[in-house]
Structure 1
């Protein structure tokens, strides 16, 4: 059976990235049902809704949305977790495990950019937890691409993740279940003047790079027509 797709969505009805993410899914990603966890804008149609109040921090809301999807009886046992700024640029028959390399190398990369913050703290907490679990040389799965989750497996990881304050859910899940996978560069385009990888299956954006960057213009050119998951309302 084709997996469902779950997209956690923040509060706010203006979400052009979500509109184009849905167009890309309809065009390029085989699936059974699309679900939105959290806030569903009024212009979205023909998707399932996993209600979940968005009352905490961005980080906490995201994790809560994952758990709400796992707990929802109608979401398929295996589902693809997306973000609302993931764009499938080519047809994919399946989404295999993907990682960005050794977690220790990713931490060193972030240390060159930032010395503190919740994200880096969570990375270190996650690395320490995996070490306690006996995982040697863990991989980082914190990529801006979809990940296939299994409900029962995720619930086991959820319990483990509650031992720390800021768990990196993707990295915990991938290492706990020894997913392995293919190493790729993160397809997130961070700055407006940046180019973007051409010919790749996945792209991801920031609000600035989507609305005013080269990559956003490319995505809009690729999916110019409304898809089945949107009304004409803007």
Structure 2
């Protein structure tokens, strides 16, 4: 796994403290070769490789463009770890496991209650796409944890779903390539309170829960020292 590159799409923004601490956690606990930042590169960030991309569309289209750029770049490892800037690895891993969230059907029922517009629409459209491809009860891979990705397999998934405006690309990739994996609950912590699941090595935050919540305090105290990917502290 140390030969795998780590790919992270980054949106435009001046600070992105979640990314800073995500990188600290990956440096400490997630073996990898190079970090590739796709999109925007904050001024404080160093020691990484950068592929700039246009960010003039929705966040879903922007990340799809970023993932395609990573898959088409010849210097990125053929299998890479796909992460977002709000994913933290809290314990040392020898390799990144393949994890899923259970069936899309069950995940959909959770989001119906929350009335999540475009995200829920994309989930349903991706599910219908996978049913058309012969997967009547597909798994969801929309977890806030890094995902091992094969470049050729992801490009096939992106091509299959290129007509969707909100493609759930992790799910499309995982199902169309039959990657299997182990089921866990999602690790995203949405609130500021002290109670959150720490039964896996993974955590994820919202900007508010990171800046003001107990989960953010835990992450910051776990990784107090700058990593090799920081050229300056602030």
* TM > 0.5: yes
In 2, Cα distance between the equivalents of 1:35 and 1:104? Answer: 33
- Residue 43 of structure 1: aligned partner: 44
Superposition misfits of 4+ residues, deviation over 4 angstroms: none
Structure 1 residue 127: Cα displacement: 0.9
In 1, Cα distance between the equivalents of 2:226 and 2:25? Answer: 10
Structure 1 residue 49: Cα displacement: 0.3
Q: Secondary structure at the match of 1:121?
A: helix
- CA gap 1:194/1:139 in 2 versus in 1, 3 angstroms: farther
Q: Structure 1: give runs of 5+ residues left out of the alignment.
A: none
- Residue 217 of structure 1: aligned partner: 217
- Residue 83 of structure 1: aligned partner: 84
In 2, Cα distance between the equivalents of 1:152 and 1:113? Answer: 35
Structure 1 residue 199: Cα displacement: 4.9
Write out per-residue CA displacement over residues 30-53 of structure 1, whole angstroms, 9 at most, x where no aligned residue.
111001000000100110001112
In 1, Cα distance between the equivalents of 2:83 and 2:71? Answer: 14
TM superposition score normalised by structure 2: 0.96
Write out per-residue CA displacement over residues 71-128 of structure 1, whole angstroms, 9 at most, x where no aligned residue.
11211111000000100000111112111111101111111111x5110100110111
- Residue 72 of structure 1: aligned partner: 73
- Residue 108 of structure 1: aligned partner: 109
Q: Secondary structure at the match of 2:6?
A: strand
- Residue 164 of structure 1: aligned partner: 164
- Residue 18 of structure 1: aligned partner: 19
Is 1:201 the counterpart of 2:201 in the alignment? yes
For these two proteins, the number of residue pairs brought into alignment is 233
Structure 1 residue 163: Cα displacement: 3.4
Q: Secondary structure at the match of 1:45?
A: coil
Structure 1 residue 230: Cα displacement: 0.3
In 2, Cα distance between the equivalents of 1:230 and 1:204? Answer: 21
Whether the aligned pair in 1 keeps the contact of 2:192 and 2:214 (CA below 8 Å) is yes
Q: Structure 2: give runs of 5+ residues left out of the alignment.
A: none
